[in-house]
Amino acid sequence: MAVGYNPLPGLLHVHPLKRNGFFRIDQAGSRGGGGRNRRNVMDTALLLAENHGFLPTRGSLMLDFVFVAMIGVVPILAVSIYLTKFRHKYQLHKQIQIVLGVVLLLTVIAFELDMRFWTDWEALAADSPYYQVDEWSTVWYSLIVHLCFAIPTPLLWIFVIVRALRRFPNPPTPGEHSRSHIFWARLAAIGMCLTAVTGWVFYYLAFVAE
């Protein structure tokens, strides 16, 4: 299967071991027993990362994980906001937000690493009616929109958390920083939700639609 058009070559590219949808076996590295074993282990790991998603879609293992993780993040975020706004559980809110921030950051990193080094996502998306080889397509547009939220949101989340840890007492209670915190936290929450929604749209268009 031919490698498709990549309008973002500096951000996402096909792993150099992949050719025509398969993994190239390095003949020089496979001559010795140790080299062959190392190559076999690496090829197996790459094949598992690309081809063994746990959802009934064309997505890879990591893409499926990110998709499911974001489904869990949004309702947990809503519960966290409810706890602080209506139940005044500020310490619990703090703990949940720190965990969500770590999860979001790791999810974005996992997505980027998977796209760069493991998964030929264009080959997996080739059967989608929204993906076109060698030209811009709906799948690419949806990915770019997703990245517009997925990249800055973890940074904003870190900014909000660090400021809150520095300016609120421990355990946290409302204070002078509350107004500023609410403003930036709302932006971070909106960014989180849009990251999830645009990610689901991209996943559907690329790996579910037929």
- Whether 22 shows a pLDDT value over 50: the answer reads no
Task: Write out pLDDT tens, residues 34-58.
Answer: 556 666 655 555 555 555 688 999 9
Number of folded domains that form the chain: 1
- Specify if 192 maps to a domain: yes
- Specify if 60 maps to a domain: yes
- Specify if 10 maps to a domain: no
- Specify if 25 maps to a domain: yes
- Specify if 8 maps to a domain: no
* pLDDT band, very low/low/confident/very high, at 8 (cuts 50, 70, 90): low
Tell me what pLDDT residue 134 has.
81
- Specify if 128 maps to a domain: yes
Q: Which residue has the higher pLDDT, 101 or 149?
A: 149
Task: Write out pLDDT tens, residues 140-193.
Answer: 999 999 999 988 998 999 999 999 999 999 999 999 999 999 999 999 999 999
Domain extent, residue 164, equals 18-207
* pLDDT band, very low/low/confident/very high, at 7 (cuts 50, 70, 90): low
DSSP symbols for the chain: ------S-TTT----TTEETTEEPP-TTTTSSHHHHHHHHHHHHHHHHHHH--SSSSS--HHHHHHHHHHHHHHHHHHHHHHHHHTS--HHHHHHHHHHHHHHHHHHHHHHHHIIIII--HHHHTTT-TT--TTS--HHHHHHHHHHHHHTHHHHHHHHHHHHHHHHS-SS----TTHHHHHHHHHHHHHHHHHHHHHHHHHHHHHHT--
Residues recorded for the chain: 210
- Specify if 194 maps to a domain: yes
Average pLDDT over residues 22-28: 38
Contact between 149 and 198 (Cβ < 8 Å): yes
- Specify if 27 maps to a domain: yes
